[in-house]
């Protein structure tokens, strides 16, 4: 049984205390539906493979911007033995549950407040849209925000680091934007703590974010985003204009991942209901909440909403950041900061539901209004159900992928060099995935460090990627002969070339071309060639290696310290328990 955290309302005293978490489990199952079935959910940026091999680029040693640092490396460690599918299901299932369990700790003790908190946390545009676009590290960051607010308050009020923080902080820092959100949630909530204690927390945040910070610092000088990245700013959510959509946690830039219901009246009503309940609950919440706690979540809301709206109001600034500030491109997706709005939103809406239910005349009416408040966010966004209407159906990799991987593993034994993925385009829509879009999974499926296009086509316009090697690859592909191309690619550090015959740009001379070498796999869908020309293997400087090693040591130390603390406490409790039992027997 977990002990309640300080600042957390007492557990619901009535006999329905179990209901909110049961409701969270039910909502999560309905939200995910077929996504929990056998296979891999491959949707936009969500790429999972059976056994992601750990490689140096995942640690942040790639010349490109560290967009998947440290998430890829963490997955590579945890999915050892081919458990990638299981791990993905755990992440999909655990994220909404974790968010809901944290949210109930922010609201009043009544069952209705907790039920509404669960609904608003699990069933909102932010969760649905980020799930669809596959930003699972962002969602994990979102899920730990309520926890970090509660834990930050605890650190502010009492010495010591809560055990949960050692595990939850690194979990919330699996990508750059999620890491910044997590650090803000923790540090703002702990504001007012003695300076030394607060500085200790800041050091923990630095350690949790160290892998991508160091990777960004060592490579970001070369990795700048090209023009046009302002398209990733906050946008309208269906029919709802961007600043209004953001009030209800909507406003992702990509209109393709916005559920259809957001285009009609339901989109407006979702936001209206949430804002109305929040307005109704504001007064009671302000009176009940401790001043420092209330100010903390209000500051987080202002920061999250302000940053998101800024990317909509001043798109030029976002573009400028990406083009001129090394690593600035990591922050271009403005709506991600809306995760910071969750604690205040959920507190106010839950408080509003309590106010509404308290005004009901009689018990039956109160139950009816509680049901209405709990269900209305679902009723206005029903197309999120069943894996967003089937958009998150799992798929199975063709058997040929495993054969190609085996061939590459055999060929790569004891040899360095990168793998180039052709056609040199970033997205695929393979038939075996129901033609649903996904970031090309082949590079992750195979084992070497890989070089793939990171250009992104948005509404037909191409946003240039950040990998400085990409232009050299394109130049190499334009060379007249397969031998010339192999030599040029070898000079770039490429030893293997994997070509996907079923990709749309296959054999298109702009993106694809044959490369001379030894064919180590030749199948219906894939061909892998080993370049026989000299390969200039990428060299890492000693400074870079040492900095990366230190960053990862700091990151890994957090859950390790947590595990050691947990084991020590358990052992101490067991010893104390045995002594007590022995005393009683005596």
Question: Given the rule CB under 8 A, which residues bind other proteins?
Answer: 30, 33, 44, 132-133, 231, 235-236, 238, 253-260, 360-362, 364-372, 375-376, 378-379, 382-391, 423, 425-429, 434-437, 455-460, 462, 504-505, 508, 510-511
CB of 481 to other proteins, least distance (A): 22
Among 451, 544, 469, residue whose Cα is nearest residue 215? 544
Q: 357: Cβ–Cβ under 8 A, 6 or more apart, which residues? A: 112, 366, 369, 370, 373
Residues 6 or more apart in contact with residue 523 via CB below 8 angstroms:
400, 403, 404
CB of 511 to other proteins, least distance (A): 6
CB of 505 to other proteins, least distance (A): 4
CB of 120 to other proteins, least distance (A): 15
> Which has the closest alpha carbon to 161: 569, 579, 576, 498?
569
Q: Which residue reads 């798109």 in tokens?
A: 315
| Residue 139 vs residues 69, 434, 580: alpha-carbon distances, Å | 15, 25, 44
Q: How far is the CB of 455 from other proteins (least distance, A)?
A: 8
Return the sign of the alpha-carbon dihedral for residues 228, 229, 234, 235.
Answer: positive
Which of 296, 315 has the CB closer to other proteins? 315
Helix pair 19-32, 111-122: axis angle to 10 deg: 20
SS3 string of 478-489? CCCCHHHHHHHH
Do the Cβ atoms of 125 and 142 come closer than 8 Å?
A: no
- Please enumerate in sequence order all residues whose Cβ is within 8 A of that of 299, keeping only pairs 6 or more positions apart, or say none: 188, 191
Q: How far is the CB of 20 from other proteins (least distance, A)?
A: 17
Measured CA distances, 531 to 420, 451, 534 (Å): 11, 15, 8
435 or 586: CB nearest other proteins: 435
Q: Is 56 helix (H, G, I), strand (E, B) or coil?
A: helix
Three-state DSSP class for 498?
A: strand
- DSSP conformation class of 429: -
Complex with other proteins: residue 27 or 340, whichever CB lies closer = 27
Instruction: Determine which helix (DSSP H) or strand (DSSP E) holds 428, and give its type and residue range.
Output: strand 427-428
User: Minimal distance in Å, beta carbon 239 to other proteins?
Assistant: 9
Write the burial class of residue 2 (CB in 10 Å: 0-12 exposed, 13-18 middle, 19+ buried): exposed
Q: Tell me if 339 sits within 8 A of 307, measured CB to CB.
A: no
Minimum distance of other proteins from residue 246's CB (angstroms) = 14
CB-wise, 202 or 462, nearer to other proteins? 462
Using the minimum distance from each CB to other proteins, give the nearer residue, 78 or 505: 505
> Both tokens of residue 71?
């998430």
Based on CB atoms, which residue is closest to other proteins, 218 or 425?
425
Characterise 192 by phi-psi region: left (phi > 0), alpha (psi -120 to 50), beta (else): left
The residue (of 152 and 251) whose beta carbon lies closer to other proteins is 251
Give the C-alpha distances (Å, rounded to integers) separating 296 from 150, 157, 171, 192, 511.
Answer: 11, 14, 22, 10, 50
Q: What is the CA radius of gyration of the chain?
A: 25
| Residue 198, CA distances (Å) to 176, 291, 414 in order | 22, 19, 47
Minimum CB distance to other proteins, residue 430 (Å) = 9
Cβ distance to other proteins smaller for residue 127 or 551: 127
Contact present, 447 and 416 (Cβ < 8 Å): no
Find how far residue 249's CA is from the centre of its chain.
16
Question: Nearest approach, Cβ of 235 to other proteins (angstroms)?
Answer: 5
Taking alpha carbons only, the member of 486, 504, 483, 506 closest to residue 496 is 486
Q: How far is the CB of 510 from other proteins (least distance, A)?
A: 7
Contact by Cβ (8 Å): 515, 482: yes
The residues with which 499 forms a beta bridge, in sequence order, are 422, 527
For the bound state, the minimum distance from the C-beta of residue 238 to other proteins, rounded and expressed in Å, comes to: 8
Nearest approach, Cβ of residue 233 and other proteins (Å):
9
What would the two tokens of residue 211 be? 């892998």
Smallest gap from Cβ 565 to other proteins, in A, equals: 42
At closest approach, how far in Å is the CB of 305 from other proteins? 19
- The nearer residue to other proteins, 47 or 384, going by C-beta atoms, is 384
The 10 Å CB-count burial string (b at 16+, else e) for 362-398 is eeeebeebbeebbebbbebbeebbbbbeebbbbbebb
């Amino acid at each position: 049984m977990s002990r309640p955290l300080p600042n957390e309302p007492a557990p619901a005293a009535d006999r329905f205390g179990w209901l909110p978490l049961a409701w969270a489990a039910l909502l999560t199952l309905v939200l995910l539906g077929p996504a929990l079935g056998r296979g891999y959910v491959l949707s936009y940026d969500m790429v999972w493979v059976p056994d992601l091999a750990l490689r140096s680029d995942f640690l942040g040693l790639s010349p490109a911007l560290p967009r998947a640092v440290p998430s890829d490396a963490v997955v590579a460690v945890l999915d050892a033995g081919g458990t990638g599918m299981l791990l993905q299901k755990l992440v999909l299932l655990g994220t909404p549950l974790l968010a809901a369990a944290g949210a109930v700790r922010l609201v009043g003790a009544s069952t209705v407040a907790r039920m509404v908190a669960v609904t608003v946390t699990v069933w909102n545009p932010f969760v649905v849209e980020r799930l669809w676009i596959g930003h699972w590290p962002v969602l994990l960051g979102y899920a730990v925000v309520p926890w970090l607010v509660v834990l930050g308050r605890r650190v502010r009020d009492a010495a010591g680091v809560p055990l949960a923080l050692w595990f939850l902080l690194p979990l919330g820092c699996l990508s750059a934007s999620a890491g910044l959100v997590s650090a803000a949630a923790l540090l703002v909530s702990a504001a007012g703590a003695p300076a030394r204690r607060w500085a200790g927390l800041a050091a923990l945040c630095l350690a949790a974010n160290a892998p991508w910070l160091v990777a960004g610092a060592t490579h970001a000088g070369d990795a700048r985003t090209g023009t046009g990245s302002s398209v990733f700013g906050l946008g309208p959510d269906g029919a709802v204009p961007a600043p209004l959509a953001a009030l209800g946690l909507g406003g992702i830039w990509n209109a393709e991942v916005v559920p259809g219901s957001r285009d009609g009246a339901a989109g407006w009503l979702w936001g209206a209901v949430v804002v109305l309940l929040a307005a109704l609950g504001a007064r009671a919440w302000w009176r009940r909440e401790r001043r420092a706690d209330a100010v903390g979540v209000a500051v987080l809301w202002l920061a999250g909403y302000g940053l998101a709206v800024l990317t909509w109001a001043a798109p030029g600034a976002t573009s400028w950041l990406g083009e001129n500030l090394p690593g600035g491109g990591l922050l271009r997706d403005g709506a991600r900061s809306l995760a910071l709005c969750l604690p205040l939103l959920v507190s106010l809406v839950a408080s509003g539901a309590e106010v509404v239910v308290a005004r009901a005349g009689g018990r039956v009416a109160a139950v009816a209004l509680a049901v209405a408040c709990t269900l209305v966010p679902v009723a206005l966004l029903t197309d999120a159900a069943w894996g967003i209407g089937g958009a998150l159906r799992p798929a199975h990799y063709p058997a040929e992928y495993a054969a190609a991987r085996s061939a590459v593993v055999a060929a790569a034994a004891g040899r360095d060099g990168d793998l180039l993925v052709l056609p040199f385009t970033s997205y695929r829509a393979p038939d075996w995935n129901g033609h649903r879009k996904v970031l090309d999974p082949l590079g992750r499926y195979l084992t070497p460090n890989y070089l793939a296009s990171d250009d992104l086509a948005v509404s037909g316009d191409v946003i240039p990627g950040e990998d400085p090697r990409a232009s050299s690859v394109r130049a190499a592909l334009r060379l007249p002969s397969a031998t010339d191309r192999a030599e040029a690619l070898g000079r770039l550090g490429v030893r293997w070339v994997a070509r996907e015959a079923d990709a749309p740009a296959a054999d298109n001379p702009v993106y694809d071309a044959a490369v001379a070498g030894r064919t180590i796999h030749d199948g219906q869908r894939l061909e892998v060639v080993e370049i026989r020309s000299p390969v200039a293997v990428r060299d890492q400087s000693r400074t870079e290696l040492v900095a990366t090693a230190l960053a990862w040591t700091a990151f890994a130390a957090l859950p390790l310290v947590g595990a050691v603390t947990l084991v020590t406490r358990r052992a101490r409790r067991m010893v104390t328990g045995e002594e007590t039992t022995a005393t009683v027997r005596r």
